Structure 1
Amino acid sequence: MLRPLSEGVFVREVPFRTGGMELGGRMTVIRLPDGGLWIHSPVRMDAETRAAVDALGPVRFLVAPNVMHHVHLGDWAAAYPAARVVAPAGLRAKRPDLRIDGELTETPDPGYAAVFTQQRMQGMPRLDEFLFLHRPSRTLLVTDLAFHIRESSSWLTRTYLKLNRTYGKLAPTVLLKSLVKDKAALRTSLEGVLGWDFERVVVCHGEVLERGGREALRDGFAWLQA
């Protein structure tokens, strides 16, 4: 139900389809030094998922990493009223019905700053995505900035990603590129992330990349240098 990646780092993988394409979805659960849980991009809650999470510890943080990944956030916020819900500023306007306790900035919340670094990816206001580095496990968390789908049984998915030149590698889609309004700003943000010490990349769509994550991310965004 929750697959361990390393000590204190777990993922929950679920089917996810959009526009007829099978992209898959993933939530990441990380145990904080105090034993509480930090949950990135919560997926649909069911009894099994909730039981698996509860078995790990108390939920301290629920994180919406961009303005797109919010569909299930309300259910988790209701189930865990003591958890602190954090999200990009733009999500308040998009979902005024959601309980949001704090807005993400480039300074991590004090409750998890001891083990996380975070970066707003500038230049894409419609997405407003934050990347997170869990320093103890050298794990980078990416939401929609890039996919890493190496195989797919769906002809439509394979065709779409091949046309996007993203099939089989860590890279952004054409849709993501269309959201970029300021390449220089995004490039500066990415350079900051590439200065972090990480090896593993956990994406919300596709496979976990266990090794060579920094080099793969640099290669996937080489087009920003053009």
Structure 2
Amino acid sequence: MTDVTYPPLDVPKPVAQDLWIVDSGPLRAAGVMPLPVRMTVVRLADGGLWLHSPTRYDPGLHRALGELGPIRHLVAPNIAHWTLLRDWQHHCPEAVTWAAPNLRHRGQVRRRMRAGLRLDRDLGDAPPPDWAGDLRQVVVPGGLGFREVAFFHEASRSLILTDLVLNLEPERLPLWMRPLARLVGITAPDGRAPAYLRGAVRLGGAEAARAAAALVALAPERVLFAHGAWFARNGAAALRRSLRWLLP
């Protein structure tokens, strides 16, 4: 039986100084396709933790993170990665929740906000003072309301994405899923965004292409993202291959 995830799950794993990942999942895309999912954690200069695309809440994980620093920021970086925020908000009431542009306008999100979900502040191209000394950010626009905010951790030269790259390892996928994953181009070694997302981002036109070029120009040493095998080395070259469908 295959396991699409990257055990051990729901524990912080060091990547670089003040940078960790937390592997979790699987999620079920369209209710059927199993996907690994990953959170990235940055310890900011003030000692607080910044949680990018929080994965499922786990008390043991919360305790482990608490040993690294207080959780001060919960980041929903695109219009899809927000559904697990509520449990973290309940257990970390002092943390500020940051939302990708347009996220609060989606019908499903508005309904959840009426039920208690908080979106405290919106993200933009300029980093807020809370982390301007630690992280740079770029908004990648698209059509149909899509926005993804990418972050660059200056100290470790690590680029933090969400769904702009999926890099699923075929040997980890169920047999029935492997041909489909190859067909839509989201398999290792140089996966890319799924076809539906590429279509949405292309609607962002020249602005989206410029944003992609800006990400490559950062020359990251590594590229982290939510689904699949992240690029642990030669990050700029791997990113250029994965974003070739968008680059000018």
Flag whether TM exceeds 0.5 (same fold): yes
The alpha carbon displacement at 1:225 in A equals: 5.2
Q: Report matched runs for 1:115-154 at 5 Å.
A: 115-151=134-170, 152-154=172-174
Report what 2:73 is aligned to: 61
Residue pairs, 1:19-34, within 5 angstroms: 19=30, 20-34=32-46
Task: Give per-residue Cα distances to partners, 1:120-151, cap 9 Å, x unaligned.
Answer: 00234533111110110111111111101233
What is the TM-score normalised by the length of structure 1?
0.94
Task: State the Cα RMSD in Å.
Answer: 1.6
Task: Write the distance in 1 (CA, Å) between the matches of 2:159 and 2:205.
Answer: 21
CA contact (8 A) 1:23 1:157 kept: no
Query: Take 1:67 and 1:55, find their aligned partners in 2: how far apart are those partners?
Result: 30
The 2-side partners of 1:199 and 1:225 are apart by 19
> SS at 1:48's partner residue?
helix
Aligned residue identity for 2:226 = C
- Using a 3 Å threshold, how does the CA distance of structure 1 residues 114 and 45 change in structure 2: closer, same or farther? same
Within 1, Cα distance between the matches of 2:86 and 2:44?
22
Partner Cα distance (2:55, 2:153) in 1: 20
Identify the match of residue 167 of structure 1 among 178, 187, 194.
187
Note closer, same or farther for the CA distance 1:197–1:218 as it changes in structure 2 (3 Å cut).
closer
Write out aligned runs for 1:1-150 (5 A): 1-15=11-25, 16-19=27-30, 20-94=32-106, 95-96=109-110, 97=113, 98-150=117-169
Q: Structure 1 208/70 Cα, relative in aligned 2: closer, same or farther at 3 Å? A: same
Q: Give the whole-Å Cα distance in 2 for the aligned partners of 1:86 and 1:127.
A: 16
Q: In the TM superposition, what whole-angstrom CA distance separates every residue of 1:4-44 from its partner, at most 9, and x where no partner exists?
A: 11111111111222232222000111111111100000011
Other-structure match for 1:158: 178
The one-character-per-residue Cα deviations of 1:149-183 (angstroms, maximum 9, x if unpaired) are 23323123322221013311231211211213133
Asked whether the 8 Å contact 1:170–1:217 carries over to 2, the reply is no
TM-score (norm 2): 0.86
Indicate the larger mover: 166-175 or 194-203: 166-175
Contact 1:183 1:224 (C-alpha < 8 Å) held by counterparts: no
Q: Quick one: which amino acid aligns to residue 178 of structure 1? A: G
Residue type of the alignment partner of 1:173: P
5+ unaligned residues in a row in structure 2: which ranges? 1-10
